Amino acid sequence: MTGRNETSATLRARAEVDLDALRGNVRTLRARAGGAALMAVVKSDAYGHGMLPVARAAREAGATWLGTATPHEALALRAAGVPGRIMCWLWTPGDPWREGVEADLDMSVSALWALREVTAAARAAGRPARIHLKADTGLGRNGCQPADWPELVAAALAAEAAGEATVTGLWSHFACADEPGHPSIAAQLDLFHEMVTHAEKEGVRPEVRHIANSAAALTVPASHFDLVRAGIATYGISPSPEIGTSRDLGLRPVMTLAASVALVKRVPGGHGVGYGHQYRTPHATTLGLIPLGYADGVPRHASGRGPVLVDGVRRRVAGRVAMDQFVVDLAGDTPEEGARAVLFGPGDHGEPTAQDWAEAADTIAYEIVTRIGSRVPRVHLNEREARDGQASE
């Protein structure tokens, strides 16, 4: 194992992050993207996988762009010495635009207020800001409405003429790309074409036009344009079961969440287990205590349902998930304390997957991996020594 050393914290529980699997996923996505470049989306601490090691590994495998939500995440990448193109898209008035300009970030602009702030920052920094104009083609979240687009485009062109901005990108985001054939996909693509065409006719010369997330990168080739932004697929997880399993898509889940069994004991039949006694042993049995709880991101909503591989055997959470721990019924087996319990992983040794936990908790696998708490150490496997962040393949 490379990366961090085993400590008593990692003995309790750990999220193992296989950077070779991540590199393989990046290569697969690059191949699927055809001629388009790949942005690895590393927001929210790389969906819980650890932003810096993931960013470096993604670059090693040829992700030429990195994407974050907040400017603070992007600036943290720069502060750690990560070079190359980094885009961030979730800006709030008063955010660090000047630091963004000085750090050479590509910054999303959805509205005139943002253009005003970024151009003021560019004047203060004494150089143009790199901006991507975001079109709301139907998601109804961030982005500029079609009716307001001509005004935003005109203002951006004026900022270019004044030497305060360079429009490096035109972009948008899908609402339902994870539902193959959903009519909004074609409608958003049509509108994106229209809005890009308008901007280009007016004189915008974007370096990259982009709209595809993982689902679109995998299933809608017409959405690839110059760049695809892949988050969840980079981590080896399918955007939705409708699109296929990780294996169907040639992806390998990157994170394995494991813990050491903290206690094994015999109990009589009829014994209540955990808060509220939601589980009662049907007969004399053995119980195993797993030292992970909802503070660590194990969803309480999966109480009584979440699957776990304990010492090689599939079990289920018995009773409620508590803040720091939960219990499994070991059906008379007596694994040693310290035996390995795997909540999820790639699935090739009988362990559940993050998708299994998503189903048990009635949510999506994105939420399962992203919410693993900060108390769980990330142990990065197969980290390379070279730390220059440059693509090496």
Which residue positions form the known binding site for substrate? 141, 323
Cβ proximity to ligand PLP, 89 vs 326, nearer residue: 89
Whole-number CA gyration radius for the chain: 23
Report the distance separating Cα 182 and Cα 202, nearest Å: 32
Report the distance separating Cα 143 and Cα 193, nearest Å: 15
CB 223 within 8 A of CB 216: yes
Please report how close the Cβ of residue 171 comes to ligand PLP at its closest, in angstroms.
8
Which residue's structure tokens are 């003995």? 11
Instruction: Name the active-site residue from 47, 201, 265, 275.
Output: 275
Report the distance separating Cα 371 and Cα 377, nearest Å: 13
Please report how close the Cβ of residue 218 comes to ligand PLP at its closest, in angstroms.
9
Could you please report the per-residue DSSP string of 25-65? HHHHHHHHTTTSEEEEE-HHHHHTT-HHHHHHHHHHTT--E
Sign of CA dihedral 309, 311, 316, 318: negative
Residues that bind ligand PLP (CB under 6 A): 41, 89, 173, 213-215, 229-233, 239
Report the distance separating Cα 101 and Cα 98, nearest Å: 5
Please report how close the Cβ of residue 75 comes to ligand PLP at its closest, in angstroms.
18
Backbone angles phi, psi at 247, to 5 degrees: -60, -45
Is 134 among the catalytic positions?
A: no
Is 279 among the catalytic positions?
A: no
Instruction: Name the active-site residue from 43, 47, 279, 366.
Output: 43
Cβ proximity to ligand PLP, 152 vs 228, nearer residue: 228
Q: Helix, strand or coil for residue 22? A: helix
Cβ proximity to ligand PLP, 108 vs 325, nearer residue: 108
CB 279 within 8 A of CB 273: yes
Please report how close the Cβ of residue 185 comes to ligand PLP at its closest, in angstroms.
13
Q: Which residue has the CB atom at the shortest distance from ligand PLP?
A: 231
Sign of CA dihedral 39, 4, 306, 302: negative
Please report how close the Cβ of residue 371 comes to ligand PLP at its closest, in angstroms.
14
Please report how close the Cβ of residue 159 comes to ligand PLP at its closest, in angstroms.
22
User: Chain-centre distance of CA 325, in angstroms?
Assistant: 25
Which residue's structure tokens are 């992007």? 74
Cβ proximity to ligand PLP, 229 vs 378, nearer residue: 229
The CB-side HSE value for 308 (13 A sphere, CA atoms) comes to 33
Binding residues: 141, 323
Report the distance separating Cα 285 and Cα 273, nearest Å: 12
Report the distance separating Cα 51 and Cα 46, nearest Å: 5
Cβ proximity to ligand PLP, 173 vs 380, nearer residue: 173
Cβ proximity to ligand PLP, 173 vs 252, nearer residue: 173
Please report how close the Cβ of residue 236 comes to ligand PLP at its closest, in angstroms.
12
CB 217 within 8 A of CB 230: yes
Report the distance separating Cα 144 and Cα 132, nearest Å: 12
Residue 63: CB atoms within 10 Å: 30
Cβ proximity to ligand PLP, 325 vs 355, nearer residue: 355
CB 73 within 8 A of CB 43: yes
- Residues with a known catalytic role: 43, 275
